[in-house]
């Protein structure tokens, strides 16, 4: 038993030692254009991702006032009402209702040739959950939307 005691102490110390595993950030990209379309209808990340960095690029030429785009993430059951609330929030708020808990993440509003990124925590989202991304610029959400999937 005396020989086993040091081994047990080492095992106990290893179990109590804080994890040094770094948080995993997964990167995604998507484009929007002057035809009011994203280039992807689904974005997928693994359940091993703690954070996601999403980059939106507007590959068109029209200005932000004419054909602005953003990328907003919400639960699928809430995205339409959230998009409508965004229209009421106006351009000064980038068509995002300020302080609205339904917004999981969003980029800034961009016009032709511009890019915006957002990094957000996905550890609280459910693998297999029902999430939708969309553009909240007025009238865009009906066409510019897709599924955000966390694969378990």
- What does R_g of the chain's alpha carbons equal in angstroms? 21
CA angle at 142 for the pair 137 and 107, rounded to the nearest 5°:
40
112's tokens: 């032709």
For residues 93, 57, 61 and 96, what is the CA-based torsion angle, rounded to 10 degrees?
A: -10
Q: What is the pLDDT of residue 36?
A: 98
pLDDT at 125 over 70: yes
Q: pLDDT-derived band of residue 3, with 50, 70 and 90 as boundaries?
A: low
For residues 45 and 151, the answer to whether their CB atoms sit within 8 Å is yes
Asked if pLDDT for residue 73 goes beyond 90, the answer is yes
Predicted local distance difference test score (pLDDT) of residue 8: 45
């Amino acid at each position: 038993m005396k020989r086993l005691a040091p081994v047990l102490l080492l095992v106990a110390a290893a179990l109590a030692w804080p994890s040094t595993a770094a948080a995993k950030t997964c990167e995604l990209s998507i484009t929007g254009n002057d035809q009011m379309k994203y280039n992807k209808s689904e974005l997928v990340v693994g359940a091993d991702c703690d954070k996601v960095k999403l980059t939106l690029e507007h590959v068109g030429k029209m200005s932000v006032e004419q054909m602005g785009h953003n990328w907003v993430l919400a639960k699928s059951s809430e995205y339409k009402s959230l998009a409508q609330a965004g229209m009421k929030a106006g351009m000064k708020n980038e068509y995002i209702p300020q302080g609205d808990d339904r917004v999981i993440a969003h980029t800034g509003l961009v016009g032709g040739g511009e890019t915006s990124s957002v990094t957000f925590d996905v550890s609280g989202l459910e693998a297999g959950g029902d999430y939708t991304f969309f553009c909240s610029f007025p009238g865009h959400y009906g066409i510019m939307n897709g599924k955000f999937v966390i694969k378990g």
